[in-house]
Every structure is written in structure tokens, then in C-alpha cells.
A and B are shown apart, each in its own frame.
Chain A
Amino acid sequence: MKKSLVIFAHPYFEYSTVNVELIKIYEDSGKFEFKDLYEEYPSFHIPAFRERKRIRNFDRLIFHFPLIWFGLPPLLKLWIDEVFDTSWFSEEDHPLVKKDAIIIVTTGGKAENYSKEGLYETTVEDLLKQLTLSLKMFNIEVKDIVVLHNSSNLEHTELENISDHIRKKLNT
């Protein structure tokens, strides 16, 4: 398994039952470094140098967050703004070389609403373009995007199935 850094961002984590269950995936195995952005940087001040140094140690970045008003949680967006650097395009050995990524997203809406014909007239994949494009610029391959819809009303068995699914994905 690859050395993975979980970048978790949830502004209202204390109200999320699903994510409390989901992040147990990372605790169980002990193979992940888990980074709770909203807990670590509550004042929205991100020490960019330290972050840049830290991500060098990992082969895989796991982004785990809920969609907030159809976009990334603001602190995750800020983290990307502060840490990623356009000057790296011209460099050989920048902090993001030879990595891949997995994205895990939870939404409150129904799955059928997230389609071209649906209520929101767009897909989750499109909404994540901000993140996926940024990753693409540094040749980071997005291995998988796991989307959990309607997450506040999931049955326990459904949740277990999804947890197992994610576990398998992460171990490849």
C-alpha cells in the first residue's frame, strides 16, 4: 500500500454522522496519516512551508470532504491556494512529483439531482473540476472519485458497504 496522507476538511464535522463513521477507515489500519484541516488551522492561517515539506513524504493524497454549496470547503480551497505553487511547473523536484490521489466526497442531495438533466444541471465530477484540474497540472492521477449522496439519511448497512468499498480502493 502506498504511503497516504488524508486531507480531511469538514466545517461542520460535529453534525456529520456519516463522516464520523467513514473516518474510522483511516483509524483502523493505522497506515494513513490523517490531517483534519479545520481542527489544525481553525484560524485559517496555513503555514505553507511546513505543509510543503510534509507532503513530500507521501505517495498518495486522499482528499475527503463534503460539498459545501456545490464546491470545496473554503479551508481546503485555501490550503490548495497556499500550498500549491505555480513556480513548480518549471521545476523537476517539486513537492508534488510522483503522486496519485483519491477523492471522497459526501453530499446532502439526492444522486439523481446531480446530472445534466437533473435539478442541479451538472455532475459532481464537474463540480470537482477546481480540484481535479489543479491536480492534473502537477501530473497527479486521480485514481478514483467516491461520491456518497444523501449522506444524512444513509442506512447503517449501506454505510458499511460503502466503507468496505473505500477500504478496497485505498488498499490498491
Chain B
Amino acid sequence: MAENSLAITALIFLGAAIIMVPLVRKLGLSSVIGYILGGIIIGPFCLKLTGRGAADIMHTSEFGVIMLLFLVGLEIEPRKFWVIRKKIFGMGLSQVLLTTVVLFTIFYWANWRIDQAITVALCFSLSSTAIVLQTLKEKNIFRTDAGEASFSILLFQDISVIPILALLPIIAQKHDDHENQILFQYLPEWLQPFSIILGVGLLIFMGRFIFVPFLRFVSRSGMNELLTASSLFLVIGVSELMYSAGLSAALGAFIAGLMLANSEFRHELENQIDPFKGLLLAVFFVSVGSTINFNVIAQDPMFIFAVVAVVLLVKLGVLLGIGQFFGLKTNQNLLLAFALSQVGEFAFVLINYATNLYLVSPHLNAQLMAVTAITMCITPILFIINEKLIEPRLQLKKTITEKLEGITPQKVIIVGFGHFGSTVGRLLKANGIRATVLDSDSERINLLRSHGFKVYYGDATKPGVLRSAGAETADLLILCLDNPESNKLILHYATRHYPQLKIFVRAKNRLDAYDFLNSGVDHIYRETLGTAVQMAVDVLKATGMRAYAARRMGERFTLIDKAMVRKLAKEQLKDNITFTMKASFEREAELLAEDSQSFDETHWNDSEDEDYLN
């Protein structure tokens, strides 16, 4: 089956992923392993379903890695970067440098060519962001010391891909001349060495003055597809532009991401690009699996497995040393070392790139690919060994570290930042609580941003937006949208998918409150209650009542009213009839009757509901 059409090839690739990933996940392994295994099965050494197209597909889907870098750039908010800067540069730099040096020494000692030894050592010093982040998330250890250390090191590695990409042509001592570098050719000769600076400068300029106004313009149209299209347009456009300027597309995507990290479109872009990235990365991993050459392994298994062993041992050793040096507890340190011991997906890209530069022969390329894939498959096994054999012995120490972890600040998301939401946000801000704010009115965002509010563009009724705003790790969700239906929609989605969230919701009136109560929310804020009561209190004062007595009556009225709403909400659930205007007035009368009763002291007796006893 050498001549498959594009559709059939895509079908086979996606099919392999769909079948293998759930199977692998059942076994408790990372989905990346599933993709690679799926690739191996459909590859030329098992089912022979893929034709020559596999390599092309791999090329195309490398774009997934570019998108990954764009998203990494988006993630790096300068503030977050600053907080963990010591870990990123301390741990990250020492990990990359030490691993590279040790691996290089070993390869050199094993009589490899110097340039090859350096290239391979550099490629193998990186770990797999996709595997590790996935595993950390699955095991829910993101907020531990090991989790933070892993994240810092990965971040540094992701960034260091860019200089490595720039370094490889220098090691190869030749230019990566490609017919695509049209713009590069047009530059006057004296400018060519500065093309990197020029390209980066251009990107920064565009990030500042073009991207954001462009997105603002598109978002004003209110059409969702247009935003998806323009997000893709942005990422692909930037990487193509950089490529044609003779620079790395990945570098371009990363810088574009970085430039947009502070803009209001951060979460929306993340949400738009993420599915494409996921899909392309999946296809990428499958194609990696399908191009693993088992003949190469069979020819020289000793070599392959020796390299695997060396790489794993060196990475483990270096990580353990760094963890020790940075004062990680033993169990956290082991977790970090096992988590980051594999060779990452960037190695696939870098090795292919090096092959194009004639640094690495196709034969060696195949061997290195196999090594990378094997180390990836070993990671989950290492995790299991750590969990089953090593951790139980360290149990005593573990309890101690858990006690020391302390209180993490609450993460807050505010949805809707109109007059209502912004009042909530201002009071929080005045008390030093930083919230992630989502709003979908681009003109308002523009205004609020100019007043120093961190507001992001995003329609939170779309499920993905909440996730990219961090709903998975957030603690509090504040719903302040004008439209009760939208609040309801988000509420239902959030309670189902993020049960850890404590939800606070704005309700227009009593009828909304019934709905919210019956969907299990406790914190409901009726905008027609508080202000109206305050007004009534002031009117009572104006009629001659003492201010303190009026205030007490107001407080009491509010408590009773809230209790009544709770009671009526339950009844509404029982009746299960829709609320008509007439019924609503009847309830109102009922309520007033209850009021005069509850205010009469002689009537307080053993009511079912304690809340009436005010």
C-alpha cells in the first residue's frame, strides 16, 4: 500500500491513535507511549499500513512542535518567570550543561566524531515536555517541589531548543541554505549576519503594534470561526516569515507567543491553538512510531541498548545531583530524576534537522530515533518502580515533607468584568488578591487594560476558555456575567468538570436564585436584594425610625428573605412546574405573610428550618 491518498493516510494515523491511546491509558501509561506504539503497529514492521508518506507526514506534523513552542511562549508570563527564575536558570542550565558535557565525554571516549558527539549529546540532554507534563497532571503532583522543579527544568529546556537550533548549523560549519529563504537573499550582504536580530526585532515590533490590534479588530466582529482562523494565521504566518528570513520557525513561534503572553488574548489563543497542537502532536508521535526502523535495532541491538542505558543513567545521575544540590527531599528528588530521565520529542526534530545538515547519517538517525523512542517507553516503567518499590521505603520522610508544604494561595477566576464584576475585582485587588479575569467585550477590555487591570479576552461559555484560564487548578470561580443563562451554562459545565471549584454566582432575581440553589450552589448574590434592602433601610430612617433599629430590621429582613428563597427553591423542585407570572405573585404574597409572622417574636417556635429563627 505505497500510494495511499492523503485522506486514507490520515485515517490510518488517527485510527491507530484512537485505538492505542485508551488501551495504554488503561495500563496507566502516558498517552505519548500509546501514540508511538500505535505508530509502530501501523508501521512497515508490523501491519505495513503506512506508505512512503510517513516521512512527509512527520514533516508536516512537526508543526505541532512549533505550536507547542508558541504555547510555551504564551505560558511564560514575565511575572511567573520571575518568581521561579532561580530554579529555571539554576536547575535548568545545570541540567542541560552537565548532561551535555557528560554525554559528550562518553561519546567522545567511545570514538564518535566530535561534531556528532556534541550534536547527539545536546539532543539527548532534553526531556519530553509532553510526557512529563502529562504525567505530572495525571498523578496530581504539579504543586509539589518535584513538580515545580520539573516544570522549571522543562521550561529551560524548551527555551534552549532555540539556541541549539541555531547552534547546529555552526557545528556543521555550513549554512542551512534552503530555497525558501527568499527574504534572506534580498538582504544586503553586510546585513545578513544580523538577520537574527533583525527578525527578532521585527517580531517584537509586530507583537507590540500589530498582533494585538489585529486580534482586537477580529474579535469585535464577534465571529468565533474568525478568531480560530486568525489564531492559526498568526502562528503559521510568523513561523513561515521567520523561516523565509532564514531563522528557525520554532524561534519565531516562541517569540510570538512571548509577545502575546501579556495581552488580553492569551487564554483565547491558547484555547484556539491547543486542539490543533494536540492533534498535530498526536500525528507527530504516531509518525515517529511508524518510522522506527526495527532492522536498525536488529542489526546492532548492543549499540542501541548500550546508548539507551548510558543516556538514562547519565540523566538520572545528573538530575539526582542537581536535586541534592538544590535541597530537594529524597523522595521528591527521585520523582524528579525518574520523571525527566527520557529523551524528549524535541530530539526527533533536532536529529532530523541535524540529518539535513549532514551532521548525522541516515543510518545513525534511525538508530538515534530508536534510542529516543525506547527511553520514552521506559519512563512509565521507571515511575512504576518508584511507586511500588522505592517510595514505600521512604514513607516516613514523605509525611514530613507533606507537612512542610504550607498553604498555597487561592487561585481565583472572575468571569464577566462589567459594572458588577469589576466592583468585585476592585475589592479583591485592593486586598492583594490577583484574579484571572475573563471578559468578551474587546472595547471594554481595552479600556480596563489601560487602567491597569489584567483582563483577558475570552468567551467563558466555551468550555476550552475556562480550562486555559486555569480552571483545573483554580480554587474559586466568580460568575458575574449580565446574562443569567450564560452564568447557568458555565455553572453547569464547571460543576461537572472541575468539582474542586468553589463557585460564587451573580443572580438577577429570585427566580434565578431558585435555579442556582437547585443546582447545588451555595454562594448566590441577588443583585436586586442588597441594594433594595439598603434603600428600604434609608427610607425607614427617613420616616423617623432610629438608624440602628432600621439597620437591624434590614439585616433581619435579608436573612429571612434568603432563608425563604431556600425554602421556596426546594418546593419548586417538588412541584416541578414552570414558574408563571401568577404563581410568582402568589409566592410573593406567601412570602410577605411569612415575613410578618417571622418578625413577630411570639411566633418563634420549633420550625423545621433553623434559619427562620432570626
Contacts and interface: CB of A to CB of B under 8 A. Distances in A.
Interface of A: 43, 45, 47-50, 53
A50 to B, nearest CB: 4
B363 to A, nearest CB: 68
Interface in B542-577: 552, 555-556, 559
B555 A49 contact: no
Nearest to B558: A45
Contacts of A47: 556, 559, 613-614
B610 interface: yes
A16 to B, nearest CB: 17
Contacts of B611: 50
6 contacts: A43-B555, A45-B552, A45-B559, A47-B613, A47-B614, A53-B610
Contacts of A49: 601, 604, 613-614
Contacts of B614: 47-50
A45 B613 contact: no
The B interface is mostly helix, strand or loop, or mixed, namely helix
Contacts of B559: 45, 47
A53 B613 contact: yes
Interface in B591-614: 601, 604, 610-611, 613-614
Task: Among B555, B556, B611, find the residue whose CB has the most chain A CB atoms closer than 10 A.
Answer: B555
The A interface is mostly helix, strand or loop, or mixed, namely helix
A43 B555 CA distance: 9
Contacts of A45: 552, 555-556, 559
A48 B559 CA distance: 12
A53 B552 CA distance: 20
B61 to A, nearest CB: 54
Nearest to A43: B555
Nearest to A44: B555
A66 B153 CA distance: 49
Nearest to B552: A45
Contact of A50 (B552, B601, B613): B613
A48 B613 CA distance: 8
Contacts of B556: 45, 47
A82 to B, nearest CB: 10
Given A50-B611, A50-B613, 4 more contacts: A45-B552, A45-B556, A47-B614, A50-B614
A45 B550 CA distance: 12
A1 B555 CA distance: 37
A116 to B, nearest CB: 38
Nearest to A51: B613
A94 to B, nearest CB: 14
A72 to B, nearest CB: 20
A56 B555 CA distance: 25
A47 B552 CA distance: 10
Nearest to B560: A47
Nearest to A82: B552
A53 B611 CA distance: 11
Nearest to A48: B614
Interface string B355-396: 000000000000000000000000000000000000000000
Contacts of A43: 555
A102 B468 CA distance: 54
Task: Among B556, B601, B610, B613, find the residue whose CB has the most chain A CB atoms closer than 10 A.
Answer: B613
Contacts of A48: 614
Contacts of B601: 49
A76 B474 CA distance: 36
B216 to A, nearest CB: 42
A47 B557 CA distance: 11
B256 to A, nearest CB: 45
A50 B610 contact: yes
A49 B597 CA distance: 14
Contacts of A50: 610-611, 613-614
A43 B614 CA distance: 14
B81 to A, nearest CB: 31
B558 to A, nearest CB: 9
Nearest to A53: B613
Contacts of A53: 610, 613
A84 B611 CA distance: 20
A43 B558 CA distance: 12
A50 B560 CA distance: 12
A47 B613 CA distance: 7
A47 B555 CA distance: 10
The 6 nearest A-B residue pairs measured at CB:
A49-B613, A45-B555, A50-B613, A47-B614, A49-B604, A50-B610
A23 to B, nearest CB: 18
B555 to A, nearest CB: 4
A20 B522 CA distance: 28
A52 to B, nearest CB: 8
A162 B324 CA distance: 41
A48 B604 CA distance: 11
Contacts of B613: 47, 49-50, 53
A99 B552 CA distance: 30
A69 B142 CA distance: 47
Nearest to B603: A49
Nearest to A45: B555
A53 B604 CA distance: 10
A50 B556 CA distance: 12
Nearest to A54: B610
B243 to A, nearest CB: 56
A154 B601 CA distance: 47
A47 B599 CA distance: 12
A35 to B, nearest CB: 14
Interface string B250-286: 0000000000000000000000000000000000000
A82 B611 CA distance: 17
A78 to B, nearest CB: 11
A155 B320 CA distance: 40
B530 to A, nearest CB: 12
Nearest to B604: A49
A45 to B, nearest CB: 4
A95 to B, nearest CB: 12
B416 to A, nearest CB: 26
Interface string B454-482: 00000000000000000000000000000
